[in-house]
Structure formats: C-alpha cells, structure tokens
Chains A and B, each alone.
Chain A
Amino acid sequence: MARVKFLCDADRCIECNACVTACKNEHEVPWGINRRRVVTINDGKPGERSVSMACMHCTDAPCAAVCPVSCFYTTADGVVLHSKDLCIGCGYCFYACPFGAPQYPKVGNFGSRGKMDKCTYCAGGPEADSSPAEYAKYGANRLAEGKLPICAEMCSTKSLLAGDGAIIAEIYKERVMKRGYGSGMWGWKTAYADSPTG
C-alpha cells in the first residue's frame, strides 16, 4: 500500500495561492478556515521562498497523540483523518500540530470553537465514501474516486506534489539534481522524522 504525502518544491512555488483557492472551492470550506495556506519566508528579500502548507499527515501524528477523545485515525494510505462527531473542539491538536493545520469554525465565544476542520488529503472522513453526510462535514472524497488532492493536481508550476511518498520524493530529488539546487522538502523532517521512507 502506498504511503501518500505532500511535498512542496518551494523553488517552484510562485505564491499564486491557487492551491488555497482550489481547496476552499472543492470542499466548500467556510469563511475563516484555511485547510491550506501559502507562507512566504524572507518576503521581499533575495532568496525568498514560498511554501504551500497544509496537514502533512504525519507518521505517529501529534494531533492524534494529544486528542483527549481520540477522534483521529490513520487510513491504510497513511492519511490522518478525524471524526467531527467525536471532536469536542478543545484545541489540543492545534497546540501539538507542527504545521498549524487544525482550524476551528468559531472565533472566541468562550472557547467553544466548534468542530475542528483540517485538510483530509481529499479523503473525506469516517462516513460512507462520497456520501452527502461525508461531504457536508469533510468535503469531497477525491481519493475514493481514484483522484489525488485537488491542490496538487491543479498546481500550475507542479510545485506542490501529492502521491506515494517514495515517488514524489524521487521526483523532487531528480529536480534538485538537474537544476543544482533545492530549498528542502519542507516539513518532511518534522512530519516523518522517524521513518524517512515510510
């Protein structure tokens, strides 16, 4: 079974934010929630790089480790998903997440932040694949249709890669070899430190 991952080749990212927009559109993500975002490091200085970041679907995910109600689970493909039926909106996953992936729909009313929302790798949630209930809570389930996440699929510079971790890592390494430079596989060390290949 493939172990799917995201990889953002920051030397190719042109900060067009199309991945962000496509994600919001595909899943009808509410206002205020961004499952994916583009962060520009050293903005305006020579050598600035933009990185498109969402949930990295970590190995031994920190969110799953700290969740007080154990609402997270990892699919056979290595995608980290969660159940909004179990989530109590405590915010613990946000504190533990290295990538700021967990988002909350409500702002500042006595801490009732509502059910956490995050990138699903376009793989929905615990409900039946592609059911209306699943779509309402988690958005489209492209993986069930045999498609990859929309953000990577429509990236105009093919900066954002999604798919089998081993294959996208190979593609990135070939690019680095060919052009002679690369700013790194952003987040990989933090997300998959214990298993560089898995």
Chain B
Amino acid sequence: MPSSLSHLRALCAAIALLFVFAHPAAAQLTFKPTAEAVQEDKLLNALKEGDKITGRISIPDTMASSLIQPAGRDWRDFQRSKLPIIGGVAILGMIALLAIFLMVRGRIRVDHGFSGTKILRFASFERFTHWLTASCFVVLALSGLNISFGRVLIMPLFGAQAFATMSGWAKIAHDYLAFPFMLGLAIMFLIWIKDNIPGKLDWQWIKQGGGILPNGKHPPAKRFNAGQKGIFWIVIIGGVLMSVSGWFMLFPYLPANVTALQFWTVIHAVIAMLFIAVMLAHIYIGSVGMEGAFDAMGTGEVDLNWAKEHHALWVAEEQAKGRAPSKDGTHAVAAE
C-alpha cells in the first residue's frame, strides 16, 4: 500500500510543520515549567493567620481539599494551654468568690422571718421548663468538662479503657441532651421575656447593691430584679451561642470547613466555661445563699415575707389581681 503510506507521510509532515510554526511562539510567551512551579515554602509563607493551603480534589469530601492547615496548631494550643486557664480561672474563681461571699455575708435571711403564708411564684409549667433546662445543663456541663479536663483529672483514676467507655456515653448524652436543652431555652425565652425587659427600677436596684450586700435594705423589684434579669439574658444569649456553635459540631458537614469548625469549637468552649461559672452563682443564690429562695423553683410557692422583701412591687401587683394573700393573711384562692 505505497499510496496510503505516502499520504500518511505527507500528513505527518504537515502536522510537524504546524508545530514548528505555531508552537515556539506560544511557548516563548510565558511558560517556564520549573521556575513557575508551585513551591510549598512560598505558599506557607504567604498564608495569613488561620488560612490553609487548598487545591482541587477528585473525591466528594470537600473538606479533603485542604492540604495543609497550620492553624490546627493554634487550635491545639488553645485546647491544651489556653482553655484550662480560662476554665480554671472562671470556674475555680467563681467557687472561691462564692465561698468568700458565704463567709463574709453569710446566708441571706428573711429579715421579718417566715410568715407562714405562701404566694405562688412559679406555676408548674414554668418549674417544668426550668428543671428541664437545668437538668440538661448539668449533664451537658459535666460531660463537656469531661471532654476538656477528663483526660487529666479523671483518666488517671480509672484507667484508659474505663474512662473511654464512660466518655463515650458522656458524649452521646451531650449530643442528645442538647435538643431538650434547646427546647427548654426556647420555652424559657417565650414565657419569661415579658418580665425581663430592663427598666429604670433595675438601675436603682443595681445602685443599691441589689439588697444582697447591705443587710436589711431591699430595693423594690417587680417579678424579676436586675440580678435575675441578668441571669435570664446570660442564659438566653449564652444558650443561643452554645446552641449555634454546638449545632455545627453536631452536624460538621454543614459548614464543611475545618477553619469554621475550629472557630465554633473555640466559641463553644469559652462560652461554656463562663456559662458554667455564672450558673454556679445562680445555683448558689437559689439554694445555700438565700433562705426561702429555693421554694420558688421547688414547690413553686414562696413565703409572703420573702416575696415582699425581694419583690415588693410584684407582690402588690399579685394582690391587686387577687392572686395573692392580702396583708391580713387571708388566703385569696385563685379562681381557676
């Protein structure tokens, strides 16, 4: 087949000519394959704080496109060095403060003694919501602290295997109890927001030391005083931050970005430590710290004298509505 061979030869020559004329011109323009090759050093040095070297991958897991993320070291440093200090100062500091407060101020008594007459302070649904959120919070706090400090504080006591088994269950509890906690948070917000709008009275209450520091003086307050309003807003804002940051940890493929996940874990941990510290103060003043205070969330009914001392305006409102015993001690039974 001489003719077809010569055809092929001619075609090859034509293609070769094409390359000779067309290619060098293009090649001389820019391409220097070695000099312009990607350099790891340059990429690392050009990285900004918290940034990472990324590229294209051919697998569906988008998080795998991150090649090197030196920010992992900062996250490690936060977990191992900074967080123990933040948590230690916040939680141990608060316990120390409360101990000092108990020693100096002692238990806050009802100045006029118990009257024996009760007034309904929290209805059963309110108490249910409080304890739903509170019980979840306690488990969440303990299992969370276990993640941060268990390895150092608890693991040496039980050994690695038993500690890992316990931590595994604690993590499951942490993951699942997050949902009733968020539910409780939402209900608390809805049922108590109307009594927690800051007002002029709160400023007076703060200026007078809240009736906690000076003995026997009680600035007037409505249903919630400024301190309680503070707790309400700390719980709501802290709870929302915990929920949002926790949500991304529960569903890590939502942000699908290791940098974002690092950010949210740091938020989660720092807010958690502060949250726990504040809640310790809340637990203290609602139990050991103040006589008669626990009844509000226990039975729901507080002593009339306690209510008058701490929430004078609220008692007056309730009496005006006929939902509270009047001054002479006769018990007005709710109509419902």
The interface of chain A, by Cβ under 8 A from chain B, is 10-11, 17, 20, 32, 34, 37-43, 46-51, 53, 62, 65-71, 85-92, 94-100, 107-108, 110-113, 180-181, 183-187, 189-190
Q: Is the interface of B mostly helix, strand, loop or mixed?
A: helix
Using a CB-CB cutoff of 8 Å, which residues 141-186 of chain B contact chain A?
146-148, 150-151, 155, 160-161, 163-164, 167-168, 171-172, 175-176
Contacts of B64 in A (CB 8 A): 34, 37, 39, 100
The answer to whether A180 and B34 have CB atoms under 8 Å apart is yes
CA distance A94 to B260 in the complex (A): 12
Query: CB-nearest residue of chain B relative to A48?
Result: B38
The 8 Å CB contact of B252, one of A87, A98, A113, is A113
Chain A at the B interface: SS class: loop
| B191 vs chain A, min Cβ distance (A) | 27
Which residue of A37, A50, A53 is within 8 Å of B59 (Cβ)?
A37
- Complex CA gap A107/B53 in Å reads 24
Chain B interface residue number, banded: 35 or more
Given A95-B75, A99-B68: A86 and B37 interface contact (C-beta under 8 Å): no
Give the complex CA separation of A89 and B174 in angstroms.
Answer: 13
Q: Which residues of B contact A113 (CB under 8 A)?
A: 252
Q: Are A41 and B160 in contact (CB under 8 A)?
A: no
B176 to A110, Cβ gap below 8 A? yes
Given the interface contacts A108-B252, A110-B175, does A98 sit within 8 Å of B40 by beta carbon? no
Distance in Å: Cβ of B118 to nearest Cβ of chain A: 43
Cα–Cα, bound, A88→B249 (Å)? 14
B161 & A86 in contact (Cβ 8 Å cutoff) = yes
Taking a contact as CB atoms closer than 8 A, the residue among B30, B68, B75, B160 that contacts A187 in the complex is B68
Nearest CB on B from A145, distance (A): 28
B258 touches A100 (CB 8 A): yes
Q: Tell me if B39 counts as interface (CB < 8 A to partner A).
A: yes
Whether A110 contacts B37 by the Cβ 8 Å rule is no
Contact B164 A69 (CB under 8 A): yes
> Does B66 interact with chain A (Cβ within 8 Å)?
yes
